[in-house]
Amino acid sequence: MRITLIKPNMGEMLNGNIYIDEGRMEPLQLGVIAGKTPKSHSIKMYDDRMEHIKYDEPTDLVAITVETFTAKRSYEIASEYMKRGVQVILGGMHPTLLPKEAMHYADCIVTGDMEDVWLQILDDKKANNLKTLYKGGVTGEVQAGFITRRDIFNKKGYLPISLLQFSRGCNNSCEFCATSVYSKKQHRCRDIDLVVKEIKTIKRKLLFFVDDNIVANPFKAKELFKALIPLKIKWVSQASLSMTNDPELMELMMKSGCLGNVIGFESINVNNMININKEPNIDSFDQYKKEIKILKKYGMQIWAAFTLGYDLDTKKTIEDTVNFAIKNKFAFAAFNILMPYPSTKLYEKLKAEDRLLYDDKWWLHDYYRFNHASFVPKKITADELTDCCFAARKKFNSFSSIILRAFDFKTNMRTPYKFITYLIYNPLFRKEVYKKQSMKLGVKEEN
């Protein structure tokens, strides 16, 4: 069969141009599916973030990976193929969260991990017996028995960093988090020998483990880090602040080539953390002074992820948050508006309180814009939250902030490599702040 895999875009910028993601990374999930596909089938991959999809190109089956922010665009793409009589499969986070909605826009949807049912899907398609719903696993071994196929990423202009996974899921139950809903609060690890085998096939030596929390199982994480040390790679991932409580874990992590991690600081107000049940951030809370000191001791570049718009947030607390990030000279920081993702506890709470905007489905609404508040906050208005978050991004990514934050000899200037990384990526992220703000979801191409 001829199979087409698609990574959707989000939409249009304010000037009406299609958004081109200059900071795009490899769509790992499509490489995983390609790696699971028998060689008897041919594969074509389109990345809607940087190229036009050739809808009239002959194909037998289309599979689209769908996130909530790309749902509208994904449905548009699916419609174009279905008009042409091509069967379409939707998989990923969003169809798992909202299977009934996704079913309206495709011939077939997959909940959970598509790799678990992919071979069955191909057999059913070949037998002209494709089902409308396949349930992939969320509890078994991650990417068992095969490695990612990466030739489909060639000549797509991705950042010079290769993506892979050691684990999936998170065993915490933060009320705003869609990942814990998807994974049913399960954290699963991949066979370490297979991870090492895959790394040896990757030409690049800079890697991004896209795990939801690479240290969620400290014992397994230590085994992984020990196995990585001889490979002489450099890597980044996502990790929780709980890692700072384990000196052995921190030591092995840095010896294995870790440059830094995306860390969910979320808020500098402990009561916000209590309200959303962010357990790793609550213990010994003193605005993370102890944790930051430990991270800098080991030379870890910090990409701090903050979420703004909790019930206790005000204009002042948001301004205090960005000042906190600049003062601590974080290498990078994201200031995300609190988003009520479907099927999360936060979504259900806001819906029950009649605080959701855009007819409850902001991800499909014609008037919703990217990085805008989609609910009514308690202490400020929705527009004020949108404006304050944009101001936070602008201030953190200002040239004066970039220069000030560079001069941290424990992290950003600890080695020439870390300093160069800092200098390359900060201007890129600054540019993306302005490009993506207020972007319209969906494109509505006519072919």
DSSP 60: S
Asked whether residue 50 falls in the same domain as residue 197, the answer is no
What is the model's pLDDT at position 284?
52
Distance of CA 433 to the CA centre of its chain: 16
What is the model's pLDDT at position 286?
73
What is the model's pLDDT at position 280?
62
- Residue 149 has φ and ψ, to the nearest 5°, of -90, 125
DSSP 71: H
Residue 158: give its domain's CATH number.
3.80.30.20
Domain ends where: 110, 135, 160? 135
pLDDT digits (tens, 9 = 90+) for 80-112: 999 999 999 999 999 999 999 999 999 999 999
Q: Which run of H or E residues covers position 401?
A: helix 399-406
Residue 30: give its domain's CATH number.
3.40.50.280
pLDDT digits (tens, 9 = 90+) for 267-290: 888 888 787 766 665 565 577 999
- Within a domain: residue 141? no
What is the model's pLDDT at position 401?
97
Of 212, 170, 171, 175, nearest to 310 by C-alpha is 175
- Within a domain: residue 191? yes
**3-state SS, residue 267:** coil
Q: Kindly state the tokens that stand for 94.
A: 């969003």
Asked whether residue 156 falls in the same domain as residue 130, the answer is no
- Residue 304 has φ and ψ, to the nearest 5°, of -85, 125
Per-residue pLDDT, averaged over 357-374, amounts to 96
What is the model's pLDDT at position 19?
87
Asked whether residue 109 falls in the same domain as residue 167, the answer is no
- Within a domain: residue 14? yes
- Within a domain: residue 142? no
Asked whether residue 22 falls in the same domain as residue 49, the answer is yes
> How far is Cα 117 from Cα 113, in angstroms, rounded to an integer?
8
Per-residue pLDDT, averaged over 172-188, amounts to 80
Residue type, 137: G
Parallel, antiparallel or unpaired: strands 61-65 and 87-91: parallel
Which residues face 266 on adjacent strands? Answer: 306
Asked whether residue 258 falls in the same domain as residue 289, the answer is yes
Per-residue pLDDT, averaged over 33-45, amounts to 97
DSSP 57: S
Asked whether residue 189 falls in the same domain as residue 89, the answer is no
Q: How far is CA 62 from CA 7, 46, 53, 131, in A?
A: 11, 10, 12, 14
Asked whether residue 277 falls in the same domain as residue 372, the answer is yes
Q: Which stretches of 256-374 are DSSP H helices?
A: 270-276, 289-297, 315-327, 345-352
Asked whether residue 322 falls in the same domain as residue 392, the answer is yes
pLDDT digits (tens, 9 = 90+) for 292-331: 999 999 999 999 999 999 999 999 999 999 999 999 999 9
- Within a domain: residue 233? yes
Domain ends where: 90, 107, 135? 135
Asked whether residue 259 falls in the same domain as residue 325, the answer is yes
Q: Kindly state the tokens that stand for 251.
A: 């030591």
Exposed (0-12), middle (13-18) or buried (19+): which is 233, by Cβ within 10 Å?
A: middle
- Within a domain: residue 17? yes
pLDDT digits (tens, 9 = 90+) for 408-436: 999 999 999 999 999 999 999 999 999 99
Any idea what the Cα angle at residue 331 is, between residues 326 and 332, rounded to 5°? 85
Q: How far is CA 446 from CA 50, 83, 91, in A?
A: 18, 11, 24
Q: Kindly state the tokens that stand for 324.
A: 């906190």
Domains identified in the chain, total number: 2
- Within a domain: residue 357? yes
DSSP 82: H
Supply the pTM of this predicted model. Answer: 0.94
**3-state SS, residue 37:** coil
- pLDDT over 70 (residue 231): yes
pLDDT tier at 230, thresholds 50, 70, 90: very high
Distance of CA 440 to the CA centre of its chain: 19
Residue ranges making up the domain that contains 103:
2-135
Higher pLDDT, 288 or 222: 222
Phi-psi region of 84 (alpha: psi -120 to 50; beta: other; left: phi over 0): alpha
- Within a domain: residue 423? yes
What is the strand order of the sheet 301-308 is part of?
162-164, 206-209, 234-239, 258-266, 301-308, 332-337
Q: Which run of H or E residues covers position 351?
A: helix 345-352
Asked whether residue 115 falls in the same domain as residue 204, the answer is no
3-state percent breakdown (helix, strand, coil) of the chain, nearest 5: 40, 15, 40
Question: Using an 8 Å Cβ cutoff, are 274 and 387 in contact?
Answer: no
Q: Kindly state the tokens that stand for 92.
A: 């990923």
> How far is Cα 118 from Cα 81, in angstroms, rounded to an integer?
20
Least confident residue range of 175-179, 276-280, 357-361, 441-445: 276-280
Residues in CB range of 98: below 8 A, 6 or more apart: 342, 343
Phi-psi region of 111 (alpha: psi -120 to 50; beta: other; left: phi over 0): beta
- Residue 11 has φ and ψ, to the nearest 5°, of 165, -145
Asked whether residue 180 falls in the same domain as residue 303, the answer is yes
- Residue 38 has φ and ψ, to the nearest 5°, of -60, 145
For the chain, the average pLDDT equals: 93
- Residue 112 has φ and ψ, to the nearest 5°, of 75, -160
What is the model's pLDDT at position 245?
93
> How far is Cα 63 from Cα 78, in angstroms, rounded to an integer?
9
Asked whether residue 166 falls in the same domain as residue 129, the answer is no
Which residues face 188 on adjacent strands? Answer: 168
Q: How far is CA 143 from CA 25, 34, 147, 194, in A?
A: 20, 12, 7, 9
